[in-house]
């Protein structure tokens, strides 16, 4: 009987040792795989700048010539963009994205009872009314209850006209410098 217990104890001991070895070996190999993965993630591709330069995803106001030349036009050289910022310089801006072709103002008004918010989207670089789209919203608050409605098209067209007029002035000044 004592021999049986010794055999069982020895069997359990050997089995436990084998199980521990198998698990530690499998964990060690997983650690190596993880280490290799981390190393692969941290590797730097030396051709990244070339890929970015040759990218075909130019912004809205870029002047790509040929096949994805990567020749970007800066915001300072776009008269519609500069004219819009100059026209709306009295309003606080919420979002401005040149590459996305959008300007969003924050709520603006002389008092908190009546405020407006504008979204200007640039559809092209052409100096035309159809190149700019303006959406406006008017917020009117009475006794802690506020309602938001779209502004009328006359106000939107007036702002659009002012932007185009300012863009024409900027374009003329630019041509006179040349």
Q: Of 128 and 35, which is predicted with more confidence? A: 128
Mean pLDDT computed over 94-104: 90
- What pTM does this model have? 0.56
Mean pLDDT computed over 107-121: 91
Look at the alpha carbons of 119, 123, 124, 130 in this order and tell me if their dihedral is positive or negative: negative
d(CA 131, CA 60): 12
Mean pLDDT computed over 88-105: 91
d(CA 132, CA 126): 9
Is 148 strand, coil or helix? Answer: strand
In 3D, which of 136, 125, 130, 127 has the Cα closest to residue 159? 136
d(CA 111, CA 169): 32
Write out pLDDT tens, residues 142-177: 887 899 999 998 999 999 999 999 999 999 998 888
pLDDT at 67: 44
Of the listed ranges 86-90, 128-132, 155-159, 163-167, the one predicted with least confidence: 128-132
Of the listed ranges 14-18, 56-60, 104-108, the one predicted with least confidence: 56-60
H-helix or E-strand containing 92?
none
């Amino acid at each position: 009987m004592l021999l049986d217990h010794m055999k069982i104890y020895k069997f359990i001991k050997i089995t436990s040792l084998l199980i521990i070895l198998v698990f530690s070996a499998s964990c060690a190999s997983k650690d190596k795989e993880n280490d290799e993965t981390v190393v692969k993630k941290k590797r730097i591709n030396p051709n990244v700048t070339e890929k970015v330069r040759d990218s075909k995803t130019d912004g809205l106001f870029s002047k790509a010539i040929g096949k994805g030349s990567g020749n970007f036009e800066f915001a300072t050289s776009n008269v519609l963009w500069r004219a819009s910022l100059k026209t709306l310089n009295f309003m606080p801006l919420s979002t401005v994205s040149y590459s996305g072709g959008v300007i969003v103002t924050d709520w603006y008004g002389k008092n908190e009872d009546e405020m407006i918010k504008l979204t200007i989207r640039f559809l092209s670089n052409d100096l035309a009314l159809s190149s700019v789209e303006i959406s406006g919203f008017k917020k009117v608050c009475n006794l802690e209850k506020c309602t938001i409605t779209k502004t009328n098209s006359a106000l939107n067209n007036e702002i659009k006209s002012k932007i185009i007029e300012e863009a024409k002035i900027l374009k003329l000044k630019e041509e006179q410098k040349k």
